Amino acid sequence: MGTAKLSDLDWVDIDQRHIWHPYSAINASTPVYPVVSAHGVRLRLQDGRELIDGMASWWSAIHGYNHPVLNAAIQTQSQQMAHVMFGGLTHQPAAQLAQHLIDLTPEPLQSVFFADSGSVSIEAAMKMAIQYWIAQGHQHKHRFLTVRNGYHGDTLHAMSVCDPVNGMHNLFTSVLPQQYFIEAPQPAFHETCQPEHLLPLQQTLAQHADNIAALMLEPIVQGTGGMRFYSPGYLQAARDLCDAYDVLLIADEIATGFGRSGKLFACEHADISPDILCLGKALTGGYMTLAAVLTTPQISQTISQGEPGVFMHGPTFMANPLACAVANASIELLLASPWRDQIAHIEASLHQRLMPCLHFEQVADVRTLGAIGVIELHQPVNMATIQPQFVERGAWVRPFGKLIYLMPPFIMNDQDLATLCDAVVEVVQHLSLDNAG
């Protein structure tokens, strides 16, 4: 039996009554805006309004929307095969993507595992670290060390390495695996990392290295856990300490990979290579969900030679050909563009246009790095009231907690960036300390 096409009112009503959105309630009072199309850096709403997207769909749409090169990659691949299981079969887009990633990341990273999403890649990375130690007879090395203000995803083990107090998962504390937490890196991006900044990390490794499989870090940029930028010196020292105490280093570059911080990968700010690297979000230019976990031959061969002789993970849609094809196109498009200049220009513009907010009493800090601009308030925002204020000004900005932040597509021009920043400054200016929450 056929189904009649839903009217505009019908599908919006179905959404409101039946669909859970991220971190939302059914029948929530917070507005949800119906999008009917997207092109370049603009989202077109059902009522005809257009919004300049300041979020790049949560870090991912680095080339903007409806890009002809990425569209063509999807269309061409769909005519060959949309999907095929990766168990016992392979295909050219996956091999091409693996080669791209190996070529772009530090040389020790030679083995690639494809996952469905960022959270799943974190799960796979943690399992990889545990299985590596089990293969060597170190079953007790199964816990993880991480820093506060971190965010690594919403699945069970990923939640266990998110900030247990300031994160979004304290409701599940009693059922999560228990990990080791130390204070967040203290020196800011442009500050020198001093020996005292490393004491919590060094002391915890000295006491518990026999039980720790890996240190999990977001390199340089802590994302959803606080949008903090820390010193490359801290990351360099963390790499050295992991080596000294025989602990693996997992770098979560799901948010920072592919240029967002001003380097192709944030690890480059510290000139280090992790033992395991997680990538996602911008991997496909925001077109499809896909993630990748890269590791060294030492780790992949150790796992493959131990019991049971295979890595125990395998998503159904692993290495989806459509996703791999558009990821290849996105990477090639990025590398062929003047992305370094674009991001440097965005950084300078964000810095110039957002810094006036430091004069507002409700603002605690303003910081920028690469194509990231952050305004930290003293009090959390009220999403139900602040979101419409941005929409009224033609801007799509999605604050959380005390943070109002921008991460525009790399292709955004000066005029659109100015409009976006002006909207943010105007909203923040009229956000009093009394009504921020």
In the predicted structure, residue 2 carries a pLDDT above the cut 60: no
The answer to whether the beta carbons of residues 281 and 294 sit under 8 Å apart is no
- Give phi and psi for 333, each to the nearest 5: -65, -40
Q: Which domains, from first to last, does the chain contain?
A: 8-66+338-429 (3.90.1150.10), 71-336 (3.40.640.10)
Report how far residue 243's alpha carbon sits from residue 202's, in angstroms, rounded to the nearest whole number.
12
Task: Report whether the peptide linkage leading into residue 22 is cis, meaning its omega lies within 30 degrees of zero.
Answer: no
Q: What is the pLDDT of residue 85?
A: 97
The residue from 53, 116, 163, 252 that is catalytic is 252
In the predicted structure, residue 60 carries a pLDDT above the cut 50: yes
Q: What is the pLDDT of residue 7?
A: 82
Q: What is the pLDDT of residue 29?
A: 73
In the predicted structure, residue 437 carries a pLDDT above the cut 70: no
Q: What is the pTM of this model?
A: 0.96
Average pLDDT over residues 194-202: 98
DSSP string of 199-213?
A: HHHHHHHHHHGGGEE
The residue from 151, 234, 287, 405 that is catalytic is 151
Name the CA dihedral angle for 413, 33, 168, 218, rounded to a multiple of 10 degrees. -20
33 is annotated as an active-site residue = no
Average pLDDT over residues 136-165: 94
In the predicted structure, residue 167 carries a pLDDT above the cut 90: no
Residue 25 pLDDT level (bands cut at 50, 70, 90): confident
Q: What is the pLDDT of residue 3?
A: 61
154 is annotated as an active-site residue = no
281 is annotated as an active-site residue = yes
341 is annotated as an active-site residue = no
Report how far residue 153's alpha carbon sits from residue 159's, in angstroms, rounded to the nearest whole number.
6
In the predicted structure, residue 16 carries a pLDDT above the cut 60: yes
Q: What is the pLDDT of residue 1?
A: 44
Report how far residue 390's alpha carbon sits from residue 402's, in angstroms, rounded to the nearest whole number.
16
In the predicted structure, residue 434 carries a pLDDT above the cut 50: no
Q: What is the pLDDT of residue 433?
A: 52
Q: What is the pLDDT of residue 164?
A: 83
Average pLDDT over residues 121-142: 97
In the predicted structure, residue 86 carries a pLDDT above the cut 50: yes
Phi-psi region of 44 (alpha: psi -120 to 50; beta: other; left: phi over 0): beta
- Give phi and psi for 59, each to the nearest 5: 75, -5
pLDDT in tens, 206-240: 999 999 999 999 999 999 889 999 999 999 999 99
The residue from 10, 13, 15, 23 that is catalytic is 23
The residue from 53, 281, 405, 416 that is catalytic is 281
Average pLDDT over residues 359-370: 97
In the predicted structure, residue 393 carries a pLDDT above the cut 80: yes
